[in-house]
Structure 1
Amino acid sequence: MRIPTNIITGFLGTGKTTAILNLLKNKPESENWAVLVNEFGEIGIDGALMTEQGALIKEVPGGCMCCAAGVPMSVAITALLRTNPDRLIVEPTGLGHAHKVLATLTSSQFKDYIDLRATIGLVDPRNLSNPKYLENQNFNDQLAISDIVIGNKVDECHVGDVDAFNDWVTDQSPPKIFSQLVKQGNFPIELLDSPRRNPTESNEVESHHHEHAEQEPQFQLPPNQTFVRKENKGQGYFSCGWIFGAEVEFDFDDLFSVLSDLTAERVKGVLNTNNGCFAFNVSNGVVSVNQMSLEGFESRLEVIDSQLLPWDELEGVLKRISNVDSL
């Protein structure tokens, strides 16, 4: 049986993970879903955020899913398919080549096992008027391969942003099969069963390379270490991530203050605090917090920006607002 599969793509900060969390919460109780998550950073945050939703999660951290970790991607997909899920969701990194992920999923290797349905692209309508995004090839490629486009965060948009989204959708050729403006990543789960616009497109995966192409990412906390730091760079972006042992506890108020003051374009984390375990998400200068029921979990924090930030200084602050030095 071929497994219904969807790619959910979008640039940094468009709300892909939130959208997938909503889908998992609303999936039929009788169904078992699997999710393959790819992140630009080396640490892996999204899988931790999805753990509580009962889906089988596999992560491929460390850059573009298809080039930086081509073999790990194929291995992860195969492992997920062996569990015979009722649906597979693939979330490529916001800085990845989504069209190459699509080509991999439609390749001869998986054609007998995967029923690839509509690719859903999320976009923040505010970005459709920003040259920084409009001139980014990956941003445009992600929207180009999307059969369905969801304008997310409409509650944070001005009228001009909504007009820009509607104008953009109208100008698409070939036209998208569906578009909608939503908030908090909430779109109808029925969209997942929409067909692709062009299922006969070329399946050839272009040859391309990345500085990490020969490395399978290693992102586990080594024994006898309280924390570990990993960095990545590419496509004009820099990331730095930390994993802290489960015994490390952050002061919640201090942590919230530090994350609020960060000027980075993207910040995500799941961290143990003196008030419990929380997921932190920082986008466009706004910090959102959700309590998690995880116990004995290794805290993870990832920061991404188009500028190289003073990672040593930030690490010092993180140590100061936690109990790292006393362990």
Structure 2
Amino acid sequence: MSNQVPTNIITGFLGVGKTTTILNLLKSKPENENWAVLVNEFGEVGIDGAMMAEGGALIKEVPGGCMCCTAGVPMSVGINVLLRQKPDRLIIEPTGLGHPKQVIKTLTSAQYTDYIDLKATIALVDPRNLSDERHLSNANFNDQLSVAEVVIGNKVDQCTAEDVDVFNDWVTDQVPAKIFHKLVKNGVLPIEVLDIERRAQETESSTHSHDFHDHSDLEPVFELAPEKPFIRRENQGQGYFSCGWIIGAEHIFDFDQLFSMFSDLNAERIKAVVNTDKGCYAFNVANRVVSVNQMSLEGYESRIEVIDSELLPWEQLETVLLRLCGLR
């Protein structure tokens, strides 16, 4: 490669709308450009890659936790695979429980000096979370905001005037000052934000301790045997638990019942791409608000991931899910 690839990190805590934002950016990218997206998920079954499959980008997933652990090998391998395809831009979406300082450290290392032009890091935040002690006391939440040159207050349409004031006061108090900030809804950003230059920073080594994840491969490879039409995978770390299911494409969920179940389930985060009696849909649940988007992924297995700070009764949830697709 003769030219550095403009690269952005888009970070933010669970449920803030990172995937929706990236999908919107992909819709507005120049038609003659090929973009690549490296997606890291806390869960094991890989939902975001499926959601982005229709966005016209090169997608690579690092599932199962923080992609910067194990000496950065999973992240580096994923980046290298995408760079070989010579994209015009690279977007990296770390997990909502990830450590952006380690990602920045890797991208600015000698390994990538000739290949990556790291632009400003963009952090998304739900302004309502700036008044929530659970978020304010979370080291990852604070790190994601502090390391970013650009801060986007997303979901402003769901905020009160007080939430907006808290966001504006918070941005005003930042030292050093943020280069750019904006309140938006539905993750709609001006594409020009991606070209904001990164502020020169001293290289810092992260003091965070990571839970160890053995990434034997970058993407989960699951064989759905005829006698076992679904599989379940669990993960835990950093005070959170996840459970994910992959269910064969031939098993169809009742859309209305699934929507109702997701609405009633008291979990911090739910993502799913599911075959239903109304078609294939992506479900995105945060703060018990369910949003859906129709997909055109024919023959793709249904994938469901639930994340919470409490260990949920996975067996009971599995029984309900299997009942909704006729497996129980």
**TM-score of the aligned structures, taking structure 2 as reference length:** 0.95
DSSP 3-state at the match of 1:324:
coil
Structure 1 equivalent of residue 167 of structure 2: 165
Structure 2 equivalent of residue 322 of structure 1: 325
DSSP 3-state at the match of 1:53:
coil
Q: Is the 8 A contact 1:67 1:208 kept in 2?
A: no
Structure 2 equivalent of residue 284 of structure 1: 287
Query: Deviation per CA, 1:48-97, whole angstroms, max 9, x where unpaired?
Result: 00000110000001111101683121111001000000000000000011
Partners of 2:72 and 2:251 lie apart in 1 by 34
Structure 1 equivalent of residue 257 of structure 2: 254
Pair 215,279 (structure 1): closer, same or farther in 2 beyond 3 Å = same
Write out aligned runs for 1:57-136 (5 A): 57-67=59-69, 70-136=72-138
* Deviation for aligned residue 1:201: 2.3
Q: Is the 8 A contact 1:42 1:217 kept in 2?
A: no
Pair 56,275 (structure 1): closer, same or farther in 2 beyond 3 Å = same
Pair 146,257 (structure 1): closer, same or farther in 2 beyond 3 Å = same
DSSP 3-state at the match of 1:183:
coil
Write out aligned runs for 1:173-212 (5 A): 173-198=175-200, 200-202=201-203, 204=205, 208-212=209-213
Query: Deviation per CA, 1:120-159, whole angstroms, max 9, x where unpaired?
Result: 0000000001110000000000001110000000000011
Pair 52,35 (structure 1): closer, same or farther in 2 beyond 3 Å = same
Partners of 2:163 and 2:176 lie apart in 1 by 22
Q: Is the 8 A contact 1:62 1:217 kept in 2?
A: no
- Provide structure 2 residue ranges, at least 5 long, that are not aligned to the other structure: none
Match of 2:316 among 313, 317, 322: 313
Partners of 1:184 and 1:214 lie apart in 2 by 32
- RMSD of aligned Cα (Å): 1.5
- Provide structure 1 residue ranges, at least 5 long, that are not aligned to the other structure: none
Pair 218,76 (structure 1): closer, same or farther in 2 beyond 3 Å = closer
DSSP 3-state at the match of 1:41:
coil
Q: Is the 8 A contact 1:121 1:150 kept in 2?
A: yes
Partners of 2:135 and 2:205 lie apart in 1 by 27
The answer as to 2:235 corresponding to 1:232 is yes
Structure 2 equivalent of residue 49 of structure 1: 51
The answer as to 2:3 corresponding to 1:39 is no
Q: Is the 8 A contact 2:211 2:238 kept in 1?
A: no
Partners of 1:165 and 1:112 lie apart in 2 by 37
Q: Is the 8 A contact 1:271 1:278 kept in 2?
A: yes
* Deviation for aligned residue 1:221: 2.5
Which aligned runs of 4 or more in structure 1 are off by greater than 6 angstroms? none
State the number of aligned residues. 324
Pair 180,51 (structure 1): closer, same or farther in 2 beyond 3 Å = same
Q: Quick one: which amino acid aligns to residue 184 of structure 1?
A: N
